[in-house]
Amino acid sequence: METKQRKVGRPKAPPRTGPLVLGQEQERTKVTLEISERAADELAEYTRWVEKSAGISASEARFKTVDFALREIFRRDRIWQAERRAPAEPAKAAPVVTPAPTTRPAATPSSLPSPVSRATADGSRT
């Protein structure tokens, strides 16, 4: 007996039939860099496969492969993404200097208030 309930979760994607790198078109810029011999060999092998599978030129296959690989690494690196999303460090401002507490100068006789006159026992003031 069939149920009419849908399966929970994301529907399965159709199986891939070609290279993953053929997804999106991107603007280009030229960058020259050195890579290890092992990586260069694997890159050459993979780009030959992309070239053959998609019927594109070797340079186009190489561009798409390297572009995709780098974007995926940047996307999947959680620490890098957290660093990018963190607020920028505040500019190093001059340290705030609080003035030292000032002490009052010792009282001098001229700055003291005049003495309060006291009444004497006979009622006269001094």
Query: Can you give the pLDDT at residue 76?
Result: 94
Q: How far is the CA of 53 from the CAs of 9, 40, 58, 60, in angstroms?
A: 32, 20, 11, 12
Question: For the chain (length 126 residues), average pLDDT per consecutive 10?
Answer: 76 82 82 96 97 94 94 93 84 57 56 55 56
> CA torsion 78→84→86→92, rounded to 10°?
140
Give residue limits of the domains in the chain: 57-88
Q: Where are the alpha helices (DSSP H) in 2-117?
A: 37-54, 58-76, 78-85
How far is it, in rounded angstroms, from Cα 74 to Cα 80? 7
Closest CA to 75 of 88, 65, 84: 84
Put simply, whether the predicted model's pTM sits higher than 0.75 gets the answer no
